[in-house]
Structure 1
Amino acid sequence: MRSIKLKILTAIILLVSISLVIVGGTSIFLNYNSTMDLLEQTMIETADLASKRVSKELKAYENIAVEVGSIARLANSDISISDKKNLIDQRAATHAFQRGNILDADGNSIFDGNNYSDRVYFKEGMNGNAYISEPVVSKVTGELTIIISAPLWEGGTPGTTVVGVVYFVPNETFLNDIMKSIKISENSEAYMIDKNGYTIAATEAEAIKNNENIEEQAKKDTSLKQLAELHVKMKSGERGFDTYKIEGVKKFIAYEPVENSNSWSIGVSAPVKDFTQANTQSIFVTLVILIASVIASVVIAVKIANKISNPIKLCTERIIQLADGDLETAVPKITERDETGILAEATGKIVKNLNDIIADLGNQLSGIANGDLTMKSTVSYPGDFAVLNYSLEKVLNDLNKIIQQINRVAEQVAMGATQMSSGAQALSQGTMEQASSIEELSATITEISDKVTENASTSTLANQLAVQTSREVEEGNLQMKEMTEAMAEISENSGEIGKIIKTIEDIAFQTNILALNAAVEAARAGQAGKGFAVVADEVRNLAQKSAEAAQNTTTLIESAVSAVEKGIVIADNTAKSLEAIVEKAEGVSEQIHKISDASVEQADALSQVTQGADQISFVIQTNSATAEESAATSEELNAQAQMLKNLVDQFRLR
């Protein structure tokens, strides 16, 4: 059997554990999603900022080139080449360009004589457009270089004739420097690709030197497929956030197109582990907190379970002791003002009530054992225990009645024994007197001995008839008692009939009053008759009561008639018994008549009585002894009756 403590512990620990797991899991999930959302937003913003920075730098360089192309002195053929070079170098130094150059209308440099007519930036410049070239290998330095070109306007007036092209070469590492400045994690990197997918700037310059093109490499190396697909999106000018896997390392990437460029795009990537490490630590901390919380909840649950189960356990043990008959052990004291306190209080009340009831029953039974039948309950018997008090009270009342009856019978027995003793003593005395006189009558008795024998037989028959007559008299007596009871029942039913008749009279009186009210209401209501309906309803109710009373009257009358018939039957039986008594009395009379005749004959044969004198003498002596024994027996019966009365007197009656 599982204890309530274990049930409470299991419920609390399960509830807390499930709650903590849900909260912890939700926290980890939300934390991870929040981190990913923040990372996505941060990387996209970083890529956007890098894109804007490059765009801004390029636009600034473009504006410088356009502004230099509008300088009239540079288009004036009267200005020396050295002056023009000084002006170009001055502007390049001012704006941190690596170098600058002026190309004539044929694409020849006026400074070094190299021909650049095949370059796109020259062609665009001659068409009157400012242009930022794709990274190209410089003919001067052999390095990968970006060219910022602009048309050289005749007279320095934009929109006129283009007489040449001016271009500047930014620092070869300025794009790489921008890429290196982008740092979102320890192992993050940034790079930029052109419209053909070639890496033109990167945190690591090796990719540029190796003329890296992921799309071309992916054709041979399938591990680069995911990144190649992202480069396709970057070349198409899309912006976004995604993940890819390269060389077994999963990375995040945010990409953004570069405005004011020739479809360039910047990508900012970082290994997933750079960010999940913090999440892993957060998960670890959360798990530690969850475990600590579970342990704390277990400790708290144990305390709560003990606080709840211990009082229940104590009360249960006390109830078990009570079931084993222990009424003396104290009830545990519970100070909590909750259900456990109520349970302890109820347990104490049960013990106290049972203790009081059993003590009261023991007191009353002890009193009864000591002959005190006047005992009364001194405590209150709550609820169904009241049946015990009622039953004990009934037993005491019945015992009181029985003892009272025994007392009366004992008195009557004692009185009868006294009378019997007196009669026996008188008989004994008379027998002794007869013994002294029998000698005188011996001669006469001898003569009438034969008649005495006959008289004795007749006397015996007369005695039998007398006994039978006595029985018939007793039966007549019983019949008379039954008739008395029947008459009493008739009397009771007659009383009920009187009550019912009284009820019928009351109902008749009320019916008359209601009838009068109905008449009054009818007179007041006129055609409405509503009041008459109410009164009529009441009249019907009273009429129903009258019918019920009449029915009860009929029933009681029938019962009375039955009782009368029963009395008649009993009376008939009594008459028969009395007739039997009369007949037996006649028989006694006849026998007595015979005895009389025999006595006449005995007088004639008196001389024969002498023969029975000795026998009569013997009988007289026997009667004398029997009378003495009867006297002794009567005295003993009297003593027993007195003893019985004394025993009964030991009881205290109500």
Structure 2
Amino acid sequence: MFKSMKIPRKLGLSFLTICASAAIMMIVFFMNISMISNSTDMNNASQERHAKALALDTAILRQNSQFRGYLVTGDSSYLKSYYEGRDDYDRISKELEQDLTDPALKAALLKSREETLKWRKNWGDRLIARVQAGDREGAANAVRAAGKTVMVSDAVLPLREIRDAEVAQIAENSERQEGAIASAMTVLIIGGIFLIGIAVTLALLLSRLIARPVADLTKTMGDLAAGKNDVDVPDTDRGDELGDMARAVLVFRDAAVAKQAAEAANAKAEADQKMVVETISSHLSELAAGNLTAEITRDFPGDYSTVKTNFNAAVVALRDLISSVMESASSIRTGSTEIAQAAEDLARRTQANAASLEETSATITQMDGRLKATAEAATLTVERADGTMLSVTGGRSTADEAVQAMTRVSDSAKGIDSVIEGLDKIAFQTRVLAMNAAVEAGRAGEAGRGFAVVADLVSALAMRAEEEAGRARGQLTETQSDIAAAVDAVQKVDCALADISSGVGDVHQLLSQMASDNVAQSTAITEVNVAIGSMDQSTQRNAAMVEQTSAAARQLASEVTALSDQASRFNVGNGTGGIHRTGSSLEGPSVELALVRRANGHAEQVWH
């Protein structure tokens, strides 16, 4: 059946099979490329939502840390960062709400927003206003008394659900993308092998069904031209154009045999026969060389007009078929080029996503380092606060000892006052006795004059002792007043040290809580950094696979270009010239060798 089919139909069916297989492979490949593109877009959207959820988490923690810093220090620079974190949260929360489509994730976002606004109202904004009003100590006491209720865990935990869901979605999209890339590679490899097999099979089949009979027919024509009229004409039972040509050659042979038998052929018939043989042989040589415009234009005698008509019809059919093959090869080459370009664009976008993920990972690593540095600074501050508390405790102990020493000095001063009072009384009694002695000496007359002098000296000494006792009492009274003032001052210092100790204790508690929060934030950001690193590796692998797909598409385009180059060897008369070989092609083996060489060259280019 296939042997009796016309040559245009044989070639058309062969190239239709190749084109249909290539079209099917390109459709499947395009579907996989579209799936890869969709998975990439979905991955980009999930990564953007994940980044926004992480930004919301960071904004909440930033508000909490800056709020506590303002309570501890009262520095208004913390408020600027607090308000920036609040504005970032409100803006990103609205954007993420528009991006989310899952009702559960949107509900989690609304829950986080509700808890955040509740925390601002009950703690953040309210206590900041209280500090601004001058009651920083009261605000700090309120935070200490609140315990865990002032923490932002209820606002942060719903965002973690969103991040986990987006990470799972990214993993699912990556798996789908990897499956599509593997499927595209499989289709490309299997389809390429299948196309190569079809091309080689059809080349061998067409060579056996067309090229070899043409070579045999050419050899037969050469033998007839050489005068061998006893040759057998092959393929006269074929139903295609070669069968028509073989039957025409058979008629030509029979005519030659009849001429030789009758010996009545005249010179004109011999010339016509020679002209027909030479013309057909030269045109067959041009046809074997790839010139499909080699139609017979010379007038043949009436007996040979059928040969001319059949030959020209076969040439026209071959020319139309090769023209359609060249157009189909050009279309396939254009489609392959577009597929390669799309794959390269997808590879560039995937590489850009990988670079963005790498930059995001580096930024989060820097944030992690800064949080760890802040935690270490807070820990050092706590240690310094402990040292300060020890110093204050030692100062209070020293102040207590000073108060006790001054109390003992005051008691000793009271005892000295009693001694001075006794001396004062003794001096008064001595002066009274001296006065009495002077009176008695006056009564004694001249005999008591010396004794009167002594009595006067004793009286003067007693008065001086009274004066010195009075001065000592005044100095002692001033000393007691100074000691009492010093005791009051030391007690005030002790109260101030007690207040300092209490304040340092509060600062110690707040700094400890800040250090714990910073450590928790650093741990969370480290986990996020690990997740983004894994995403970065997956995106890098996807980029490599897409690059391989692009290379395979370019290889397909080069193979189609090779097929087009092979088809362009034929001259179909539309301005594209084939490769013409000089020399005679009357002998059959040379034509067969040319066709086999052309088929093998096409197969080698396809395999390369």
Structure having the higher strand fraction is 1
Judge same fold: TM > 0.5, yes or no.
no
User: Under a length normalisation based on structure 1, what TM-score does the superposition of the two structures give?
Assistant: 0.30
Return the index of the structure with the highest Cα Rg.
1
Of structures 1 and 2, the one scoring higher in RCO (CA 8 A, sep 6+) is 2
User: Under a length normalisation based on structure 2, what TM-score does the superposition of the two structures give?
Assistant: 0.31
